[in-house]
Structure 1
Amino acid sequence: MGPASGSVTARYLVYFQYLGTDFNGVAAVRGSQRAVGVLNYLEVSSACPPPAVERERPGAGTCGSPRALGLRPSPQGALYPQEAAKRLNSVVPVRFTISSRTDAGVHALSNAAHLDVQRRSGQPPFSPEVLAEALNAHVRHPAIRVLQAFRVPSDFHARHAATSRTYLYRLVTGCHRPDQLSVFERNRCWPLRADCLDVDAMQEAAQHLLGTHDFRAFQSAGSPTTSSVRTLRRASVSPDPGSPFVLAQEKRLHFWNLEFESRSFLYRQVGSALSHLDGGGSGGALRAGPNGSLGLGLQVRRMTAVLVAVGLGALRPAQVKVILESRDPLGRHQARVAPAHGLFLKSVLYENLGGNPACVQQESQGPGGRETPD
């Protein structure tokens, strides 16, 4: 559908974050399924009836201002986020095109998406601040937050334009029983019963993954990805300074961060290879289904699992190179993947658009210190 005569269409880049525990991934779930994706809350569904909202009218406020959007709490509370976007009264339904898909249970410190808002004739585009405020004001789910919004060119694409994606995986050692982990850390990290990890060996193993390789061995069999060649720019293992939620008597718990940076990751590539571990050492790693149905992000979760296996002594660092060079998506290393709940999409970066709100202090005027002209 083309722009209506005289209407104004503006494209925005929106950064948002979420705790993935309650969601079936970030993608919207269509149909009558009970599972819900993050975009079900952020996106407008053409089948969704319009919410009862106060329409813009002369005198209701400056055009493009929060009051002009009717951003007043209703007695019933905030709207569902997918309906919140409808509150923008766009001429055409608002669709979010996401930068990076995440699986069920995976979190995002900062994901990104672009969307178009087409205003009626004579109405100027919303300011990015008003757009972000409008979405946040009506997102009912407390686990979703819009961080910032910026104007971008009309041909900008959130997925194709991304130049860097960084994933963070959180581990905790010394957790002999699930109830030993703080309730505030549950579903935020992977608890391991082992008291320590051989971090030097993990770092050595990670070096084999750096650079440009065919990562087919970390990809699910039957993946539709046309090429499994990717360039891994960074893979690191480092101690976490410690969780503020750990009590003094729980100092035996030690937290660790694994980070992976690449321009893109394989469909079903981010976590694997714990088949070498016995059930007692894996800390409850999830088994992949016969069709690799655990979804996106498995590359990082498979790489994480390989490095954890090295850290626990179940694999030697040199074996990681053997696994990588096998290019075998049906190998024994595919049998287990690191749990989804320890994985966070940390950042998505764009050339000439500066950093992202999850990891870079920014002013509100836009990426890179200025608003990108339309």
Structure 2
Amino acid sequence: MAEAARYLLYFQYCGTKYSGVMKTPSHQPIPGVQNYLEGAVQKLRPINEVNISISSRTDSGVHALCNSAHLDIQRKEGKPPFSEQLLVDALNFHLKPEPISVLKAFRVADNFHARFRALSRTYVYRLAIGCFHRSQLPVFERNLCWPVSNGPLNTDAMNEAAQALLGAHDFSTFRSLNSETPFKSPLKTLLQADLTPGVSISLQQNFHSHLEFWELTFRSRSFLYKQVRRMTGALVAVGQGKLTPRHIADLLEMRDSRAYPQNIIAPPGGLFLKNVEYDEKDLEVEESKIQ
């Protein structure tokens, strides 16, 4: 019997129309991105039942510039494993017309795990200043950023507040409660938290030159459920003068999800998973295994 080959896939998607990245049951009306990825793999006619292991969960409405996953593909006797580029091209062909694209594939070791081998994950949250409602945004920006204010934000205060989040903390205040929460440690180490000017992806700049875009970037090995959206909402509240940088440090010290201020969590549409980082050695496989 032919040997199964394990691959790491990097893929991106616009998450507006999906229930999230994770697979949903067939009876659920809105599928996840994983449903379409596994459907595309099945069209390659593997002889094994393929289950894709996603590295990083994203919720409904959240996007990914680059997420990752691993999978095993076993072909019929006599057929060699797919080359990396052929696998990318074939999956993208079968993913049409969904807003999902496989960016790269790597043949990896049989014990590689996309989730547990990840060194860090980077998220970017896009903010728009100059309007209060998504209907005032360029059509190409809707569901891809959060219109937070007609006037300027206090970006210096936001960056000061972001510094309080850096390092190892108990992030209990910044996680939303769900069924998995009691089993996950709230201790996380935030490696990056900063605010920088952003750019619009709209082609209509002459008509929307009053808009200003900013990006909040967060990097950690892993995050708690809705942690990034809660941190973003709190930092925007600082920029609007509703909270002070000291409040952010105080919220961390409270270590209580119920202490998080009501109605300031950032909506999902502005959030992007930007990158999942691995040790380069994990992306190397013995030449003898590639036929």
Q: What does residue 172 of structure 1 align with?
A: 128
Describe the shift of the 1:140–1:244 C-alpha distance in structure 2 as closer, same or farther (beyond 3 A): closer
1:209 aligned residue (143, 161, 165): 165
**Residues in 2 aligned to 1:156 and 1:113: alpha-carbon distance in whole angstroms:** 10
1:262 aligned residue (213, 220, 229): 220
1:143 aligns with 2:56: no
**Residues in 2 aligned to 1:249 and 1:117: alpha-carbon distance in whole angstroms:** 49
Per-residue deviation, 1:35: 1.2
- Of structures 1 and 2, the one with the larger relative CO (CA 8 A, separation 6+) is 2
Per-residue deviation, 1:242: 4.0
1:235 aligns with 2:203: no
1:20 aligns with 2:2: no
Describe the shift of the 1:208–1:154 C-alpha distance in structure 2 as closer, same or farther (beyond 3 A): same
Per-residue deviation, 1:197: 0.8
**Residues in 2 aligned to 1:332 and 1:300: alpha-carbon distance in whole angstroms:** 13
Q: Which runs of 4 or more aligned residues in structure 1 lie more than 4 Å from their structure 2 counterparts after TM superposition?
A: none
What is the aligned residue count? 285
1:90 aligned residue (34, 43, 46): 46
Deviates more, 1:21-30 or 1:241-250: 241-250
Q: What does residue 147 of structure 2 align with?
A: 191
Q: Is the 8 A contact 1:104 1:340 kept in 2?
A: yes
Per-residue deviation, 1:332: 4.2
Q: Is the 8 A contact 1:212 1:232 kept in 2?
A: yes
What is the RMSD of the two structures over their aligned residues, measured on CA atoms? 1.6
Q: Is the 8 A contact 2:234 2:264 kept in 1?
A: no
Superposed CA offset, 1:65-112 (max 9, x none): xxxxxxxxxxxxxxxxx1x21122212111110000100000000000
Per-residue deviation, 1:234: 0.3
**Residues in 1 aligned to 2:52 and 2:206: alpha-carbon distance in whole angstroms:** 44
Q: What does residue 210 of structure 2 align with?
A: 252
* SS, match of residue 43 in structure 2: helix
**Residues in 1 aligned to 2:204 and 2:157: alpha-carbon distance in whole angstroms:** 27
Q: TM-score, normalised by structure 1?
A: 0.73
Q: Is the 8 A contact 1:13 1:149 kept in 2?
A: yes
**Residues in 2 aligned to 1:35 and 1:242: alpha-carbon distance in whole angstroms:** 29
Counterpart code for 1:345: L
1:344 aligned residue (272, 287, 291): 272
Q: What does residue 62 of structure 2 align with?
A: 106
Q: What does residue 76 of structure 1 align with?
A: none
**Residues in 1 aligned to 2:276 and 2:263: alpha-carbon distance in whole angstroms:** 29
Q: TM-score, normalised by structure 2?
A: 0.93
In the alignment, structure 1 segments of 5+ residues that lack a partner are 1-5, 44-81, 269-297, 355-366
**Residues in 2 aligned to 1:221 and 1:148: alpha-carbon distance in whole angstroms:** 34
Q: What does residue 219 of structure 1 align with?
A: 175
Per-residue deviation, 1:243: 3.9
Per-residue deviation, 1:194: 3.0
1:11 aligned residue (3, 6, 10): 6
* SS, match of residue 152 in structure 2: coil
Per-residue deviation, 1:335: 4.3
Q: What does residue 30 of structure 1 align with?
A: 25
1:318 aligns with 2:236: no
Per-residue deviation, 1:124: 1.4
**Residues in 2 aligned to 1:318 and 1:37: alpha-carbon distance in whole angstroms:** 39
1:125 aligns with 2:81: yes
Q: Is the 8 A contact 1:194 1:312 kept in 2?
A: no
Structure with bigger helix share is: 2
Q: Is the 8 A contact 1:302 1:334 kept in 2?
A: no
Describe the shift of the 1:142–1:36 C-alpha distance in structure 2 as closer, same or farther (beyond 3 A): same
**Residues in 1 aligned to 2:99 and 2:281: alpha-carbon distance in whole angstroms:** 26
Counterpart code for 2:240: L
**Residues in 1 aligned to 2:21 and 2:133: alpha-carbon distance in whole angstroms:** 30
Superposed CA offset, 1:314-339 (max 9, x none): 10101100001100111142544100
Counterpart code for 1:323: L
In the alignment, structure 2 segments of 5+ residues that lack a partner are none
**Residues in 2 aligned to 1:242 and 1:165: alpha-carbon distance in whole angstroms:** 23
* SS, match of residue 119 in structure 1: coil
**Residues in 2 aligned to 1:321 and 1:41: alpha-carbon distance in whole angstroms:** 42
Q: Is the 8 A contact 1:8 1:120 kept in 2?
A: no
Counterpart code for 1:338: A
Q: What does residue 362 of structure 1 align with?
A: none
Per-residue deviation, 1:178: 3.3
Q: Is the 8 A contact 2:173 2:255 kept in 1?
A: yes
Deviates more, 1:168-177 or 1:216-225: 216-225
